[in-house]
Structure 1
Amino acid sequence: MKKFLTLLLAIVLAMGVTACTNSEDKKTDNNKESKSKEKTVITVWRHSGKPEEQDNIKKQIEAFNSSNSDIEIKYEALPEGSYNDQVNAAALSKDLPDIFMLDGPNMSNYAWSGYLAPLDDYITDELKNDLLPSIVAQGTYNGKIYALGTFDSGLALWGNKAYLEKAGVRIPKSVEDAWTLDEFNDALEKLQGLEEVKYAIDFKINYGQGEWFTYGFSPIIQSFGGDLINRDTLAAEGSINGTKSVEALQWFQSLFEKGYANATQASDDDFYGTEKSSALSFVGHWMTVPHKEALGDNLVLIPMPKFGEKVVTGMGSWAWAISSQSKNPDAAWKVLEHLTSKENIKATSIATGAVPARKSVLGELENYGEDGLLYIYREQLEGGYALERPTTPAYPNITTNFAEAVNNIINGSDVKEQLDKAAVKIDQDIQDNNNYK
């Protein structure tokens, strides 16, 4: 009897152990299954930008998240004014997101600083060959691609056709037909004389001291024959404060002194939203939507003037990069691949007026056809009239000091004195960093 009871007890205990084991196995399997279903979260930062830009990117992210079973984008838009400072602070604290947007000219400094992961192993020949050469050039440092823009930029003059025709001002139809400096001065004088016009030209001074001053106004210097630095020696002395650069900004300053432009501009709609508007707006593609909505068929796009021997326009854009701190670069690339797809690049161009980064998309958009509203942007980029901002790790220092000089010049400071100060500061920074080798 004892043997029987002992045997029975052993069977019961064994069954209990088996049940527990099966239960634990099921829990383990369930945990494994649960973990396998967890999505890889890819954090993405972008500067805030205009409402149409935010609406566009949010739609692209929502589409990715709804159709992807193993990756989820966690998106954050940061204030534009302090965006670069926040990126630098995050890099130093090793708290960068997986993907972040950067202003193209800052790419070299970020790559030099080790903030970025190269993209060459991910980019196919098909994609690279379809990108505008300017997009590839902007994203390349030391022979490697670190950033991809989904668009390039357009810089030209927007005009109110009704005012131009009333003033008897010729409207250039192509870059080869661009205004000379004398013609431009004559046009400004005539437009300023119209009763409906308060300022002949809107220079978007409301953007404030910052990258706009370099992006927008350095092409004026370069068209005159100057530059921010010597691109062979990387020296600012003799270039940013050279004769041609000084001449360019003395002319620029004179427009404010004559009352043709507003040095204290505070509003973004001086070209179209006030009772006495500006006749011209010196700005980029990002104002296409509000300008078109306000002026309709009276809106015309005019090429950059030929201030000196050649027309020069700005180029470059905000671009996407994968952080070197990302723990999931393969998943990050899948997100970046989505953002740079033909479909999304086309959507971005339609939403913002930006020049699409892929050549195959450029041919699909009516606005960029020969009779399209934005064809001048395409002509300037494809025709070799665009000049990139200096692609050097020294660029953040170059643009900071140039923008400060321009701000002071707009407000009446001596042009040569301001550019001399900028040259000293830029060259000292380059020397302090051993030429950024």
Structure 2
Amino acid sequence: MTRGATPRRPRAADARAATAFLLTAALIVAGCTGDGADGGGKGSAKPGTDRTCDGRIKGTSQITVWYHSPTAQGELTTLRAQVRRFNASQHDVTVNLMTLPDGDYDTEVRAAAAGGDLPDLLDFDAPKLLGYAWVGRLRPLGSCLPDALRADLLPSILQQGTYAGRLWGIGTFDSGLGLYVRPSVLKKAGIRVPEGTADAWTADEFTGILGKLREEGYEAPLDLGLRYSTPGAEWNTYGFAPAVWSAGGDLIDAKNHRTADGYLNGADSVRALTILQKWVESGLVDPGGDDKAFAAGRSPISWSGHWRWREYAKAFPGDMTIVPLPDFGDGTVTGMGSWQWGVPSTSVDPDAVWRFLAFLLSPDEVVRMTDVNGAIPATRTAIERTAQFRGTGPERLYIDQLQNGTARPRPRTPAYGAVTDAFSRAFAKIVLDRAPVRPTLDRAVAAIDKDLADHQYYPPTGR
């Protein structure tokens, strides 16, 4: 977007046409190579592997930033205040912030990308930004990231934003999942409370625990957040891929990302989703008519994330803690990754954009955002300023999980859009509609593998 241009809201466009345009562009790009290609190496991008930033802002710049309008309006209020502080703090860069409705955000971004009308900076749910990187719509950020900040960032932030050996996205916070439990209820029923990831409940043990809690008078003792498990919803993938991973399964071949066959429909994945289905069939799971099962006291266990801490702690002061997700056979696993910022390839002054990103990643600003949304601060410095997460704070489990290997990112492949859509729809059919597990997963595999073949298995573009 040209410096000084007036921010313009993207036109709504037919998503299928936009996707077709991106596919055509992607196949053209896939046959090309760019300067400094690293051949798809592993690990975090290193400074100097790209030419995005040279440390010089080209005059006075106006940059346009798009932001999804989150369910938690505190995030948006905080970001608006951050923009005001940044604009007042210096005179080289002026940020113009635009918000797009969360429900329409992906469609709007796809349409704008197809029309070459992306802003200078926008946010993506982390794994979804990789498709834009593959198609050549984003700039790598390795040359922008100072060594000191790189060392301060949680490794998970860099891991989630890295594809083909380069860093394409960076966030100011991370995420985590766990089981919120009421210790008083568990102790009354004679149920042990795990102390950390090393002694997580097994899936069989957890099934027995749910039965005991029913005997204690809790008709549906487990809240899985089924209110949010509509077909295609990201909660299904973020929330329950960890069960598949914990069983030893996967959503796609994690090494080469060339097929889901034998992974998503393999015996381990089938076992994990069969267990979840049986919990629901047995009536052990709150049906999700509202999202108050735990807070209202109906369910003493909630499978959820960091965003529920304040609500649950307020509902049961002194009687709520977080324990790891159940171990389905191959160790407890949790999710990670949240919204990250990406810089479109059309941004004319990436150093100006980075100036704003560096401001958002400063310790004070990270703490301001995570104080509002309850997320895990992206930097170690900010974590040490946050009582909830530092030391033995009540949410320390989330930090431990991110640092001890318990947390896994959603598949880091440009095919993620197809992977999450297929898995999410399969999960909804299996858990909500009681569909047979293996045939439903076979159909999901077919959808994923078709997308992979249609995109020539997403060969490295060299960008």
TM-score by length of 2: 0.82
Aligned residue for 2:31? Answer: none
Measured after TM superposition, the shift of residue 43 of structure 1 is: 1.6
Instruction: Give the deviation of 1:128 after TM superposition.
Output: 1.1
Q: Distance in 1 between matches of 2:76 and 2:69?
A: 7
The equivalent residue for 1:258 is 282
Q: Which residue of 2 aligns with 1:160?
A: 182
- Determine if contact 2:131/2:413 at 8 Å carries over to the other structure: yes
1:414 counterpart residue number:
436
Q: 1:180 is aligned with what amino acid?
A: T
Q: After alignment, is 145-154 or 319-328 more displaced?
A: 319-328
The CA deviation at 1:79 is 2.3
Amino acid at match of 1:421: R
Query: Which residue, out of 170, 173, 194, partners 2:195?
Result: 173
Letter in 1 for 2:294: F
Checking the alignment, whether the CA contact within 8 Å between 1:175 and 1:311 is kept in structure 2 is yes
The aligned counterpart of 1:35 is none
Residue 243 of structure 1 aligns with which residue? 267
Letter in 2 for 1:57: L
For these two proteins, the number of residue pairs brought into alignment is 396
Counterpart pick for 1:331 among 345, 352, 357: 352
1:397 to 406, 418, 440: 418
In structure 2, distance between residues paired with 1:402 and 1:156: 21
* Cα distance change of structure 1 residues 299 and 53 upon mapping to structure 2, 3 Å threshold: farther
2:162 aligned partner? 140
Identical-pair percentage: 39
SS of 1:126 mapped into structure 2:
helix
- Quick one: distance in 2 between partners of 1:148 and 1:289? 26
Deviations 1:62-92 (Å, cap 9, x if unpaired)?
Answer: 2112323342222223222232222111111
**Cα distance, 1:314–1:77 mapped onto 2, change above 3 Å:** same
- Root mean square deviation, CA, Å: 1.8
Match of 2:398 in 1: 377
| Structure 1: distance between partners of 2:305 and 2:278 | 22
Q: Distance in 1 between matches of 2:438 and 2:168?
A: 37
Q: Aligned partners of 2:450, 2:92: CA distance in 1, in Å?
A: 49
Which residue of structure 1 lines up, in the alignment, with residue 249 of structure 2? 226
CA contact (8 A) 1:151 1:349 kept: yes
| 1:97-154 deviation line (CA, Å, top 9, x unaligned) | 2111111111221100122111122111111111111111111122221110111111
Q: Which runs of 5+ in 1 are unaligned?
A: 1-37
C-alpha distance after superposition, 1:315-355 (max 9, x if no partner): 11110111112233222111111111121112222222222
Query: 1:267-316 CA deviation, whole Å, 9 max, x = no partner?
Result: 2222213xx52211111111222222222222211112212121111111
* 2:127 is the counterpart of 1:105: yes
**What is the distance in 2 between the residues matched to 1:299 and 1:366?**
17
| Equivalent of 1:73 in 73, 77, 95 | 95
User: Contact 2:179–2:302 (CA<8 Å) still a contact in 1?
Assistant: yes
2:66, 2:457 → 1: CA distance? 30
Partners in 2 of 1:137 and 1:315 — Cα distance?
10
More helix by share: 1
* 1:434 aligned counterpart, secondary structure: coil
C-alpha change, 1:198 and 1:347, in structure 2 (3 Å) is farther
Instruction: Select which of 197, 204, 213 maps to 2:236.
Output: 213
Distance 1:93 1:161 in 2: 54
Paired position in structure 2 for 1:120: 142
SS at match of 1:320: strand
Instruction: Give SS of 1:286's match.
Output: helix
**Residue number among 292, 301, 304 corresponding to 1:269 in the alignment:** 292
Q: 1:85 aligns with which of 102, 107, 121?
A: 107
2:334 is matched by which residue type in structure 1? Answer: T
* Distance of aligned partners of 1:121 and 1:366 in 2 relative to their CA distance in 1, 3 Å threshold: same
Residues 306 and 375 in structure 2, CA contact (< 8 A), matched pair in contact too: yes
SS of equivalent to 1:384: coil
The superposition leaves residues 381-404 of structure 1 with CA deviations (integer Å, 9 ceiling, x where unpaired) of 111111111111111100000000
Q: CA deviation at 1:246?
A: 0.6
1:151 corresponds in structure 2 to 173
More deviation, 122-131/393-402: 122-131
Larger deviation, residues 79-88 vs 237-246: 79-88
2:247 maps to amino acid: F
CA contact (8 A) 1:157 1:304 kept: yes
Alignment match of 2:332 (pick from 308, 311, 320): 311
| Residue 359 to residue 243, structure 1, CA distance change in 2 (3 Å) | same
State the alpha-carbon separation in 2 of the partners of residues 160 and 93 from structure 1. 51
1:193 aligns with 2:194: no
Task: Give the letter for the 2:409 counterpart.
Answer: E
Determine if contact 2:221/2:286 at 8 Å carries over to the other structure: no
Please tell me the residue identity of whatever aligns with 1:61.
V
| TM-score, scaled to structure 1 | 0.86
1:289, 1:352 within 8 Å by CA — same for their partners in 2? no
Measured in 1, the distance between the counterparts of 2:103 and 2:191 equals 37
> 237-246 vs 370-379, which deviates more?
370-379
8 Å contact from structure 2 (residues 286, 299) kept in 1: no
- 1:283 counterpart = 2:300: no
Distance 1:57 1:289, change over 3 A: farther
Match in the other structure for 2:25:
none
Farther-moved stretch of structure 1 (402-411 vs 44-53): 44-53
- How much does 1:39 deviate? 6.4
- Equivalent in the alignment of 1:14: none
User: Which structure 2 residue ranges, 5 or more long, are not aligned?
Assistant: 1-58
- Partner SS for 2:331: coil
Give the match for residue 51 of structure 2. Answer: none
Answer with 186-195 or 378-387: which moved more: 186-195
Q: Secondary structure in 1 aligned to 2:143?
A: coil
